[in-house]
């Protein structure tokens, strides 16, 4: 890589947050690096300092509690999600989305937090997190707050995060546990590819919700729909939240069509 930067890897979260507070110049947090390092290589980002967040004990922890739900660390990788038996049992939709993200060795590095902080419209984890009512734990040196994921994305590659804030975890509440959910992603090849569109349908507490990626500036989700919602009503709900564009991957007509077709099929699947 051509761009030079310095590197720090704090071993305590407090130190890390203090560093965020005090550091001068541009910095970037390094977790899996699968987006950050590509962007630096391509000259799109030029941080002065790269702060590795993985050296802190518990950075990648996954904890599950019947009462409190699922807690993911800020460096939990996609393959950690896939190999967790508890997630397999209680949050299958999370795994379904994780399995479709990039390739095996990328999943060994890529993190769930990175996938949403990057805020790509084609995020694979966002549809699941949206359906499961995830909340994002955000910290600075002095503050802690929780942001519902529905409020997290603000535009293409944009979130509500402020410059010195860091996501320190994701909570998925217990009320969405054991929800049935399915995910389908349209790709150009069978192998790893960015989604042309992605649709997740989940049955949460007796209601249906539909989340869509790559069809609007951010990943989006419908309001809750009755379980027996008619196909036209479901499609109407989806139509209202998407706003696809044409790009080199596909036209907006086809995107629109595929979102509705996937929605129809996945609703049937999730009801089955």
Partner 1 sequence: MKIQVTVNGIAYEKDVAEHRTLLHFLRDDLGLTGTKEGCGAGECGACTVYFNGKTVNSCMVLAVEANGGTIETIEGEAQDGVLSRLQDAFDRHHAVQCGFCTAGMIMSARELIHHTPHPTVKEIQDGLEGNFCRCTGYEQIIEAILDATGGYREKEELVYVREQ
Partner 2 sequence: MYENNDPKTLTYVGKSALRKDVGDKLTGKAMYVSDMKLPGMLYAQVKKSPHARARIVHIDTAKAEALPGVRAVLTGDDLSYRIGLYIVDKNILAKGEVRHYGEAVAAVAATSLEIARKAVDLIEVEYEVMQPVLNHMDAMKEDAVLVHPDLGSYEYLESSFTPVPNTNIANWTKLRKGDVEKGFKESAYIVEREYDNPSVQHVPMETHVAIVQWGPRDTVTIWTSAQSPFTVRNLFCHTFSLPLGKVRVIVPAVGGGFGGKAGIHLEPLVACLSRKAGGLPVKFQATREEEFSLLPCRSALTYRIKTGVSLEGKILAQKMEMFWDAGAYADYAVNVTRASGYSASGPYEIPNAWVDAYTVYTNKPYGTAYRGFGHVEFHWGVERHMDLIAKIIGIDPLEFRKKNALRPGSITLTGEKITAHTGNVIACMDAVAKSIKYGKLTAAEKRREAETGKKIGKGIALLQKAPAMPSNTATAAVIKMNSDASVTVNIGLTEIGQGSTTALAQIVAERLGFDLDKVYVKLEKDTESDPYDWQTVASKGLLMSGNACILACEDMLRKGYAVASHILKAGVEDLAHDGERIYVKHDEENSISWQKIAVGYAYPDGESIGGPLIGVGSYIAQGLSNLDKQTGQGKPALDWTFGAHGIICEVDPVTGEYAVRKIASAFDVGKVVNPSLLRGQIVGGMLQGLGTAVCEGYIYDEAGHLLNPSFTDNKIPTSRDLPMEIETIAVESSQIDGPYGARGVAEHPMISVAPALGNAIQSAVDADLLHMPIRAEDVWRAMHNHHPIDNWITKTPTGSCRSDPAARRHTPDAAISP
Strands 49-52 and 27-30: parallel
34 binds partner 1 (CB under 8 A): yes
Min dist CB 60 to partner 1, Å, is: 12
Longest CA–CA separation in the chain, Å: 57
Contact with partner 1 (CB under 8 A): which of 85, 191, 206, 272?
191
- Residue 22 near partner 2 by CB under 8 A: no
Part in contact with partner 2 (CB under 8 A); list of ranges 5-13, 125-133, 153-161, 244-252: 244-252
Q: How far is the CB of 54 from partner 1 (least distance, A)?
A: 8
C-alpha dihedral (83, 132, 136, 123), degrees to nearest 10:
70
Piece of 28-36, 152-160, 162-170, 220-228 that binds partner 1 (CB under 8 A)? 28-36
Is 258 a binder of partner 2 (CB under 8 A)?
yes
Q: Which region, judged by CB under 8 A, interacts with partner 1, from 18-26, 96-104, 142-150, 176-184?
A: 96-104
186 part of the interface to partner 2, by CB under 8 A:
yes
Concatenated DSSP letters for 211-256?
EEESSSSS-EEPPPEETT--HHHHHHHHHHH-----BTTB-HHHHH
Residue 246 found at the interface with partner 2 (CB under 8 A)? yes
Place of tokens 């909570």: 171
C-alpha neighbours within 13 Å on the C-beta side of residue 251? 3
Neighbour tally for 23: CB within 10 Å: 15
Site for partner 1 in 104-143 (CB under 8 A): 104-106, 108-109
Which of the listed partners (partner 1, partner 2, none) does 194 bind, with a CB threshold of 5 to 8 Å by partner kind? partner 2
Distance of alpha carbon 94 from alpha carbon 16, whole angstroms: 28
Among 55, 157, 180, 249, binds partner 2 (CB under 8 A): 249
What residues contact residue 56 under an 8 Å CB cut-off, 6+ apart? 10, 11, 12, 13, 16
By three-state DSSP, how is residue 164 classified?
A: coil
Structure tokens at 162: 């402020």
From the list partner 1, partner 2, none, which binds 271 (C-beta under 5 to 8 Å, kind-based)?
Answer: none
How near is the Cβ of 251 to partner 2 at its closest, in Å? 5
* Three-state helix/strand/coil letters over 178-209: CCEEEEEEECCCCCCCCCCEEEEEEEECCEEE
* Interface residues toward partner 1, by CB under 8 A: 1-7, 9, 30, 33-34, 37-38, 40-42, 50, 52, 54, 79, 83, 102-106, 108-109, 191-192
* Interface residues toward partner 2, by CB under 8 A: 2, 186, 188-194, 245-251, 253-254, 257-258, 261
């Amino acid at each position: 890589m051509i761009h030079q930067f310095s590197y720090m890897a704090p071993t305590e979260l407090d130190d890390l947050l203090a560093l965020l507070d005090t550091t001068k110049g541009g910095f970037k947090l390094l977790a899996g690096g699968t987006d950050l390092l590509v962007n630096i290589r391509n000259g799109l980002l030029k941080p002065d300092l790269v702060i590795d967040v993985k050296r802190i004990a518990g950075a990648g922890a996954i904890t599950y509690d019947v009462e409190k739900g699922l807690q993911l660390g800020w460096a939990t990788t996609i393959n950690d999600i896939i190999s967790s038996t508890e997630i397999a049992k209680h949050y299958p939709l999370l795994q379904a989305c994780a399995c479709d993200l990039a390739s095996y060795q990328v999943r060994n590095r890529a993190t769930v937090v990175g996938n949403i902080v990057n805020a790509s419209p084609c995020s694979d984890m966002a549809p699941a997190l949206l359906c499961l009512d995830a909340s994002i734990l955000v910290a600075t040196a002095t503050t802690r707050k929780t942001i519902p994921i529905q409020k997290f994305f603000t535009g293409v590659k944009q979130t509500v995060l402020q410059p010195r804030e860091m996501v320190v975890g994701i909570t998925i509440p217990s009320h969405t546990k054991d929800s049935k959910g399915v995910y389908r992603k349209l790709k150009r090849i069978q192998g790893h590819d960015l989604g042309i569109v992605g649709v997740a349908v989940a049955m949460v507490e007796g209601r249906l919700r539909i989340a869509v990626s790559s069809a609007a500036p951010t990943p989006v989700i419908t309001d809750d729909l009755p379980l027996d919602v008619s196909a036209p009503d479901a499609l109407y709900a989806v139509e209202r939240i998407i706003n696809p564009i044409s790009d080199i991957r596909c036209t907006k007509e086809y995107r629109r069509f595929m979102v509705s077709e996937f929605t129809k099929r996945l609703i049937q699947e999730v009801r089955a």
